[in-house]
Each structure stands twice: as structure tokens, then as C-alpha cells.
Amino acid sequence: MYPDFHYLFQSLFGIDIPGLSLVKTFGFFVALSFLGAALVVTRELKRKKEQGFFKPEIIMEESGKPASTGELIWMAVLGFLVGFKVLGLFLNASEASKNPVDFLFSARGNLLGGVLLAAVFVYSRYSSKKKLQAAGRKQTQVAVYPHSRVADILFIAAIAGFAGAKLFNAFETWDNFIHDPVGNLLSPSGLTFYGGLITATVALYLYARKKKFSFAHLCDAAAPALMLAYGVGRLGCQFSGDGDWGIFNSAYVTQADATLAKSSFQDYEAMLKRYPDQFIDRNLNQVIPNKYAPAPGWLPDWLFAQNFPHNVNNDGIAIPGDSGEYRHVLPAGVFPTSMYEATVCILLFLFLWAIRRRFNRPLQLFGIYLVLNGLERFLIELVRVNYKYDWGFIHPTQAEIISACLVIGGLLLFFFYRPRTSAATI
């Protein structure tokens, strides 16, 4: 696994650049997922604008005004924070690389870097406004379409989505959350996708209402992008080994050299007795289930089991002779569910992209997305480790409940939804 770019470059190219440890693999893929989503959503919103599904918001823009005191103060604050933290990160790379999020939320940084960048930001805003003043003050009407607001849309989705993902994860791992609520909320791990999807949807609905454009067509434009972003994000989970894997595959046990090999169930039980604490989910306080499923001879073993050496969470047992920061490996193989989801969701993105022009009625494509996403997640839960609710005769996980609701909701949208108003104001 490659928890950060230091490990990545060292493994692939044999280059040892310790400073690259600041670039976390999972964060890199999250950034890629947002970039991919932005490109897809922008293209789809432009296409729907050309089809006449969106009306522009007419706003007045005034140029030639001098920089206000408030603007300059804001630029100073922004410049100081960026300089204080960014330069601080580089000057304290060895310490900050262990937990960049913890460093960013701390009072540590570089004062000189903050002051210098604050001055640069203020001067840049002041001088740019001064140049525009030379042309004189004037007001112009500007037609703003939704594709011009993609940056705002993604920002709102990111903030609301992260908050929802944390909130739903807290409900799913309540005992762990109560023990350390602040640490859980600030931790970059522990995110529930469906919580983020629900809260981001609500936030974007309110934003679309405020800006008076079609939320339904926004959903359709976002459907392929959501599937792509989820698939790329899961690649980040896979390559960093962030703990988003499945139950144990008891047909594979980790060897002394940290490699994974086929074994008997008795070997798995021996490993379980040797490291009992490694087979308990700390969030759920329960023994992780297992399934004996060796790969057939015509398929590679890594499709059925991986042990995630050097995983970013340092889960598992210590690798003999390894003194690096990430020196742990799982004692037995687990089903690589992040790899399964990444592959399936990227293929589903290609499918949604191929059929997107066939549906003009609002929310049909989004309905298909909900059905596909729900089915994918429902099936992957069969080999995932999650808290199960006790409903007597059935024991569903939170994700299974939500995914079943998404499938039903998607089918209702596809077959029965009819807009009551014009397509441009839905």
C-alpha cells in the first residue's frame, strides 16, 4: 500500500524523498474525484443549458470600485492563514506528515510566512482594484447559468457532505463517538458515504431554490459525476489502505515476510488465537466475521484477499524488520471491497455517461443512478464489516437500509415522477 507519496515514489521508482510524505494518497484521490466530478457536471450543465432546461440569473456587476476595507482585511486574514500553515507544514514536514489534519487544526505554524503572505494577498487585491479604477466605474448585466456556479456547487456539496458523513458515522459507531467526540469529528477517517449524500442533496436543493434553477436537472447532471467521484475515491481507499475493506477471508494468512498465502482454516484459527485483538472491530466492539473462499486456480489471489501492508491506519501486526512510519500488515487476508467498488462504480459511470442523452424527463437519469448505487452498495455489504441492527427476524446494516430505500426511491423517480412545472424551474 501507499499511505503517502513518499511510499509511492520509493516503491515504484526507488526514489527517497521524505518531504513527499505530506502528500497523502487518499487525499490525492479525493482531490482527483472532485476534479473529475467538476468536469463532468460542468459539461452536463452546459448541455442542458443548450437544450433550454435552465434560465439564467441576471445579476448586476460593478467594476472600477476601489478595494474596500473589508476586502483587504479578509485578504490579510486569508493570506496569513495560508502562509502560517503552508510554510509551517514544509518547515515541520517530519512532524506534520504523521497527521496533517491535526497540524492544520492546531496553533502551530510559521509566523513569518503568515505575515509575508498576508502582505502579498493585500497588495495583490489592492493593485488589481486600482488598475480597474483607471477605466472608470460601470455596471453591466451578466447572465449567470448553473454551469458557472460549479465551484459553488462543489464547495457546498463538500462541506455538507463531510458534515453528513461524520454525523452518520457517529450514529453508526456511537460508543466510539461518545468516548472521544472531538477526535472523531476532526479525524479524516470515519466517513459514511450515504450520510454525505443525503446532507449534500438537502444543501444543494436549498441552494438551487435560492438561485432559482432546476434542482431536478442538476441531479441528472450530477448523476454520472457522483458515480465517478465515488469510484475514484474508493481507489484512494484501496491504495492507501484506509481500513475500508471487507470481512476476513479465512483461506489466506499473512506469512512472516508480510506476504499473503493460501492456507487452511486451521491456520486461520491459529492466527486468531495468536492475535485475538486483531480480529475485533474496535469501532463496533465485535469479532470480525470470516468466510473461507480461496480463489480458483484461473483467478489471481489478490481478487479474493489482500492484507494491506503499510496501510495508512497502521492496522494489524508489525512487519518484522520494518522501522518505517507505516509498518503494519493485517494478520490474515480480507476481501478488498474498496477495489470491488472502485471497479464497479467506474464502469457504472461509463454506463450512465453512455445513456445520459436518452432521458429528457427530469430525474429519470438520477433515478437510474440511485438504483445502481443502491444495488452496488447493498451487495458489497455482504462482505463488509458494519454494525447490524437487531430487527428480530432480520439484521440489516445502516448502509443496507439506506441502499434499499435508494433503490425504491430510484424506481419511483424513474417510472412515476412527472414535473408539475416547466422544466427550467423544477
3-state secondary structure (DSSP) of residue 232: helix
Number of domains in the chain: 2
pLDDT < 70: residue spans in the chain? 61-64, 93-106, 135-136, 168-194, 282-284, 387, 389, 421-426
120 neighbors 61 (Cβ within 8 angstroms):
no
Predicted local confidence at residue 401, as pLDDT: 85
Predicted local confidence at residue 426, as pLDDT: 46
**Domain housing 282:** 248-335
In a domain, 398, yes or no: yes
Q: Is 243 left (phi over 0), alpha (psi -120 to 50) or beta?
A: left
What is the residue type of 9? Answer: F
The string of pLDDT tens digits covering residues 3-62 is 888 888 888 888 887 777 778 898 899 899 999 999 999 999 999 999 888 888 888 766
Q: Pick the closest to residue 89 from 68, 69, 103 (CA basis).
A: 103
The CA-atom distances, in angstroms, between 104 and each of 34, 66, 96, 109, 400 are: 21, 33, 9, 8, 35
Q: Give the bridge partners for 280, in sequence order.
A: 287
266 neighbors 272 (Cβ within 8 angstroms):
no
364 and 299 in a single domain? The answer is: no
- Rounded CA separation 182/63 (Å): 44
Predicted local confidence at residue 18, as pLDDT: 73
Predicted local confidence at residue 86, as pLDDT: 79
Cβ contacts of 404 within 8 Å, gap of 6 or more: 374, 378, 396
In a domain, 145, yes or no: no
- Rounded CA separation 234/336 (Å): 11
Predicted local confidence at residue 421, as pLDDT: 60
C-alpha angle 172-408-193 in degrees, rounded to nearest 5: 30
Predicted local confidence at residue 359, as pLDDT: 87
Q: Give the bridge partners for 290, in sequence order.
A: 248
291 and 366 in a single domain? The answer is: no
263 and 295 in a single domain? The answer is: yes
325 and 355 in a single domain? The answer is: no
Domain-terminating residue out of 313, 335, 357: 335
Name the DSSP class of 4.
B
Predicted local confidence at residue 96, as pLDDT: 63
Predicted local confidence at residue 425, as pLDDT: 46
What is the residue type of 155? Answer: F
397 and 414 in a single domain? The answer is: yes
- Rounded CA separation 323/291 (Å): 32
User: Is pTM, for the whole model, over 0.85?
Assistant: no
What is the residue type of 211? Answer: K
